[in-house]
């Protein structure tokens, strides 16, 4: 399978726009997959987007940024667990899909090792299990810590849960192991155990597991380890991370033999082969064996066997040059597309969902499948009534791959994006160049209600003390609050009757709500939850217009005169305030007594940083670099892209690179994030 992309045809400006869209999509989907165990798209679709971004960055190196999804692994760890810093990063692998990709991989390896064409490389090959990658740390032979991969640098501490897995040794066997030994492996749920668990759960009327991969990942992320212990989990170990005495063997295959001697479970299907033909022969063998295995796999992993050769080949930013994953093709079937419905997510995104004539594919009966977005519907030329190909990419998420146009009936109907939200009837906004359409009724839409209220009450918004996420969810579930304005109409009896609340705590919350009525215009604008309007943009809007009425009345052209507000953000703001339902909520909030001190507008030359030029580099904790740029511009400063002798200061976050070096060479003051926040304050 080859991944095609239009990147070769894009100008730099068009490529930059497409790269920005891919950044947002890939970060979102990585978070859904790695942190929530609830992916929205198939692996094949993620791989396509990832490959497209890689191609764009290869053709336009200036677009390769430090926060690109191609420069990282996975997503940030969940806050419910303590964080663990991996002493050696847990990197992921690049993917291959066709025999030609593997032949090219073998050629790159031989060229990197400067081997003659007559000499074959020794590889180790093994199944690519579909579970959750973990790190096991043994000290003096005793298991002291287990962690998830997380973002590759930092994972989640799941030691208590991992200790409940019978195949994980709590103490190593034999002798000769180093004082510190960190082992990497994959925790998975055997298919027999998965089926037995679901049958038992169904008999009890309990919720069943969606699939073995999500079952394994969800089990390891249980806060109650007794739940984990009740789940049928197993592990196969596949590599060594840290070893205090140096490498435990001279090759990967020999290191696995030593791990097995110490009581660690190794997949029996792993073996040594030579050359590209050996890799492809094993891929064919495992593909034939796949249906007979008691665990899910989605491909094969190939690794150069000798450690000295691995070290010589080294790494790229995201993955080793000496290893690659060869993915199996997705499983597909034909069925009929009965209808398309649009679901509204927590952020207002409208997702088209295919309602299908039930079909058995990839081991399950599929009646619903994602269509991703309207761009994909158009690209795949999908009509209601079509015969479509349904794919379970990665054996997990069903998707409609394409329609079979040759079988299209005469009465087939095109799929149309609704003009109004199917949940709240607010206007649907779709920005040109963006794939996702969204409901603009963020303050009133039931699908977005909980997230909108949580944001409204958050620390950087109205900062309502005591109004946490669980309390917001309870208020919404009980029907007490439908919009932010309803918060300020709550009565003591209503609040005190909520779970874990009483008269005193209820009164404290009402007092906090009363105190929150006095705020600032930037905080109020930020609290409304307008798309892409962060703290800095809210401050820029307030400083530019001076009052709420002027912001609400501004058209897209006027909004683009605000520092760092481009056409996309301007459209979001204008669409938000053009929605009558949002206007009604804003009016209701003002009627409840929300107020702020008047803003004294300053001429540009009177701004505190007028005439100053700054450059921003690295990763900031409290805001994005674009928000930081807007904040400095709102204070009258100019923000440049490169450091020169005329630069007044470099704002440096984490992982600052060449710009920091140049600033130090030129004697340009280096400023930290605390300085930036002080200027904004």
What is the per-residue pLDDT across 207-252, written as a single tens digit (0 to 9) for each? Answer: 878 678 888 988 898 888 888 888 999 999 999 999 998 899 999 9
Handedness of CA 36, 42, 44, 48 (dihedral sign): negative
Same domain for 42 and 54?
Answer: yes
Average pLDDT over residues 75-80: 56
Residue 22 belongs to a domain with what CATH number? 1.10.287.610
Q: Is residue 73 part of a domain?
A: no
Task: Based on the fold, state whether residues 166 and 225 are members of the same structural domain.
Answer: yes
Structural contact between residues 162 and 136, judged by C-beta atoms closer than 8 angstroms: yes
> What's the burial of 401, exposed, middle or buried (CB within 10 Å: 0-12/13-18/19+)?
middle
CA dist., res. 337 & res. 488, Å (int): 47
Task: Give the pLDDT score at 625.
Answer: 81
* Residues in contact with 146: Cβ distance below 8 Å, sequence separation at least 6, in sequence order: 134, 135, 136, 137, 157, 158, 159, 161, 162, 163, 168
Terminal-residue alpha carbon distance, the chain: 54
Please identify which of the residues 107, 128, 470, 482 carries the catalytic annotation. Answer: 128
Other Cβ atoms less than 10 A from the Cβ of 282: the count is 22
In which band, very low, low, confident or very high, does the pLDDT at 641 lie, cut at 50, 70 and 90? confident
Say which DSSP state 185 is in: E
DSSP state of 35: I
Cβ contact 155:83 at 8 Å:
yes
Bigger pLDDT: 74 vs 664: 664
Return the CATH number at 645.
3.40.50.10190
Question: Which tens digit of pLDDT belongs to each residue from 497-542?
Answer: 998 899 999 999 999 999 999 999 999 999 999 988 988 789 889 9
Q: Percentage of the chain surpassing pLDDT 90?
A: 53
Nearest 10 degrees: CA dihedral of 244, 246, 248, 252?
120
In a domain, 619, yes or no: yes
Range of lowest pLDDT (201-205, 630-634, 641-645): 630-634
475 and 590 both lie in a single domain: yes
DSSP 553: H
Q: Which of 380, 414, 448 is the endpoint of a domain?
A: 414
Other CB atoms within 10 Å distance of the CB of residue 128: 21
> Which helix (H) or strand (E) element contains residue 594?
none
Query: Does some domain include residue 194?
Result: yes
In this prediction, residue 54 carries a pLDDT of 87
Mean pLDDT of the residues in the chain = 88
| Range of lowest pLDDT (190-194, 217-221, 263-267, 416-420) | 217-221
pTM confidence score: 0.48
Closest of 566, 567, 560, 572 to residue 528, by C-alpha: 572
Pairing of strands 132-139, 180-188: antiparallel
Does residue 76 have a pLDDT over 80?
A: no
> Does position 91 have pLDDT exceeding 80, yes or no?
yes
List 25's β-bridge partners, or say none: none
CATH number of the domain encompassing residue 584:
1.10.150.20
**Residue after which a domain boundary falls, among 414, 449, 468:** 414
Assigned domain for 75 exists: no
Give the containing element (helix H, strand E) for 229.
helix 225-229
Confidence of residue 61 (pLDDT cuts 50, 70, 90): confident
Over residues 269-286, mean pLDDT: 96
- Of the listed ranges 100-114, 419-433, 563-577, 591-605, the least confidently predicted one is 591-605
Q: What is the pLDDT of residue 365?
A: 84
Distance CA(32)–CA(525), nearest Å, equals: 28
Tell whether 570 and 623 lie within a shared domain. no
Residue 347 · residue 425 · CB < 8 Å? no
Q: 395 with 429, same domain?
A: no
Q: What pLDDT was estimated at residue 500?
A: 85
72 lies in some domain? no
33 and 90 inside one domain = no
571 is catalytic: no
> Is residue 1 in some structural domain?
no
Task: Quote the pLDDT of residue 604.
Answer: 61
Structural domain harbouring 16: 6-67
Q: Is 432 in the same domain as 547? A: yes
Are 561 and 591 in the same domain?
A: yes
- Asked whether residue 521 is assigned to any structural domain, the reply reads yes
User: Does 497 share its domain with 593?
Assistant: yes
- C-alpha torsion angle, residues 238, 241, 243, 248 (rounded to 10): 40
Over range 138-155, report the average pLDDT: 92
Q: Is 89 helix (H, G, I), strand (E, B) or coil?
A: coil
Determine the pLDDT at residue 72. Answer: 47
Q: Rounding to the nearest 10 degrees, give the CA dihedral for residues 355, 357, 360, 365.
A: 50
Q: What is the arithmetic mean of pLDDT over 378-392?
A: 89
The arithmetic mean of pLDDT across residues 45-50, rounded, is 84
When mean pLDDT is compared over 205-219, 438-452, 479-493, the highest value belongs to 479-493
Residue 76 included in any domain: no
**pLDDT-based confidence at 99, cuts 50/70/90?**
very high
Residues 454 and 530 in one domain: yes
Instruction: Give the end of a domain, one of 378, 398, 414.
Output: 414
Report how far residue 314's alpha carbon sits from residue 113's, in angstroms, rounded to the nearest whole number.
11
352 SS3 class? strand
E strands of 285-442, at which residues?
A: 297-304, 323-327, 331-344, 349-361, 364-370, 383-384, 387-393, 397-403, 413-414, 428-429, 437-439
CATH of the domain at 100: 3.30.470.30
**H or E segment at 337?**
strand 331-344
Query: Residues 322, 344: one domain?
Result: no
Give residues with Cβ within 8 angstroms of 630, minimum separation 6. Answer: 534, 536, 537, 539, 540, 563, 564, 565
* Cβ–Cβ under 8 Å, residues 440 and 579: yes
The residue with greater pLDDT, 113 or 362, is: 113
Alpha-carbon gap, residue 533 to 573, rounded angstroms: 8
* 444 lies in the same domain as 587: yes
Count of domains forming the chain: 5
């Amino acid at each position: 399978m080859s991944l095609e992309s239009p990147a070769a045809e894009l100008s730099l400006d068009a490529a930059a726009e497409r790269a920005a869209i891919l950044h947002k999509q890939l970060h979102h989907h990585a978070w859904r997959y790695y942190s929530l165990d609830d992916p929205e798209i198939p692996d094949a679709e993620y791989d396509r987007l990832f490959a497209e971004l890689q191609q764009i960055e290869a053709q336009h190196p200036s677009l390769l940024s430090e926060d690109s999804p191609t420069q990282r692994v996975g997503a940030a760890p969940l806050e419910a667990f303590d964080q663990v810093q991996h002493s050696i990063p847990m990197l992921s692998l690049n993917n291959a899909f066709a025999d030609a990709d593997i032949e090219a991989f073998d050629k790159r390896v031989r060229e990197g090792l400067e081997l003659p064409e007559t000499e074959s490389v020794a590889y180790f090959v093994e199944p690519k299990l579909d579970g959750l990658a973990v790190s096991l740390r043994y000290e003096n032979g005793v298991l002291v810590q287990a962690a998830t991969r997380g973002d590759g640098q930092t994972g989640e501490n799941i030691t208590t849960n991992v200790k409940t897995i019978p195949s994980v040794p709590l103490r190593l066997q034999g002798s000769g192991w180093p004082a510190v030994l960190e082992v990497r492996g994959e925790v998975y749920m055997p298919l027999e155990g998965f089926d037995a668990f679901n049958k038992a759960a169904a008999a009890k009327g309990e919720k069943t597991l969606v699939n073995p991969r999500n079952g394994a990942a969800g089990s390891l992320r249980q806060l109650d380890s007794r739940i984990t212990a009740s789940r049928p989990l197993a592990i196969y170990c596949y590599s060594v991370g840290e070893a205090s005495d140096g490498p435990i063997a001279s090759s990967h295959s020999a290191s696995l033999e030593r791990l097995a001697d110490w009581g660690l479970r190794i997949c029996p299907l792993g073996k040594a082969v030579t050359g590209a033909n050996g890799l492809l022969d094993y891929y064919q063998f495992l593909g034939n064996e796949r249906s007979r295995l008691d665990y899910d796999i989605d491909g094969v992993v190939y690794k150069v066997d000798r450690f000295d050769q691995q070290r010589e080949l080294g790494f790229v930013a995201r993955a080793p040059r000496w290893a690659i994953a060869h993915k199996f093709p997705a499983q597909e079937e034909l069925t009929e597309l009965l209808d398309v419905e649009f679901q509204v997510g927590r952020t207002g995104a409208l997702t088209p969902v295919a309602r299908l004539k039930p079909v058995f594919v990839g081991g399950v009966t599929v009646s619903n499948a994602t269509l991703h977005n309207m761009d994909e519907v158009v690209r795949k030329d999908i009509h209601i009534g079509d015969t479509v190909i349904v794919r379970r990419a990665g054996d997990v998420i069903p998707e409609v791959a394409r329609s079979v146009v040759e079988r299209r009936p005469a009465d087939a109907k095109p799929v149309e994006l609704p003009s109004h939200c199917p949940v709240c009837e607010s206007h649907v906004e779709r920005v040109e160049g963006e794939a996702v359409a969204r409901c603009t009724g963020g303050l009133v839409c039931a699908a977005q209600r909980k997230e909108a209220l949580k944001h409204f009450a958050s620390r950087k918004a109205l900062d309502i003390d005591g109004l946490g996420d669980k309390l917001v969810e309870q208020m919404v579930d009980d029907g007490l609050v439908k919009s932010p304005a309803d918060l300020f109409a709550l009565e003591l009896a209503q609040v005190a009757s909520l779970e874990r609340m009483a008269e005193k705590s209820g009164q404290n919350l009402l007092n906090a709500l009363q105190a929150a009525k006095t705020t600032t215009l930037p905080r109020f604008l930020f609290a409304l939850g307008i798309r892409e309007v962060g703290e800095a943009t809210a401050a820029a809007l307030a400083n530019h217009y001076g009052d709420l009425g002027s912001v609400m009345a501004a058209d897209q052209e006027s909004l683009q005169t605000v520092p760092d507000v481009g056409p996309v953000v301007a459209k979001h703001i204008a669409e938000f305030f053009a929605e009558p339902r949002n206007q009604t909520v804003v009016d209701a909030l003002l009627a409840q007594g929300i107020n702020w001190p008047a803003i004294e507008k300053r001429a540009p030359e009177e701004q505190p940083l007028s005439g100053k030029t700054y450059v921003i580099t690295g990763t900031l904790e409290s805001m994005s670099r674009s928000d930081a740029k807007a904040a400095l511009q709102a204070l009258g400063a100019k923000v440049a892209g490169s450091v020169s002798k005329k630069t007044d200061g470099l704002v440096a976050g984490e992982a600052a690179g060449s710009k920091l070096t140049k600033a130090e060479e030129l004697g340009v003051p280096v400023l930290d994030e605390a300085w930036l926040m002080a200027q904004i304050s």
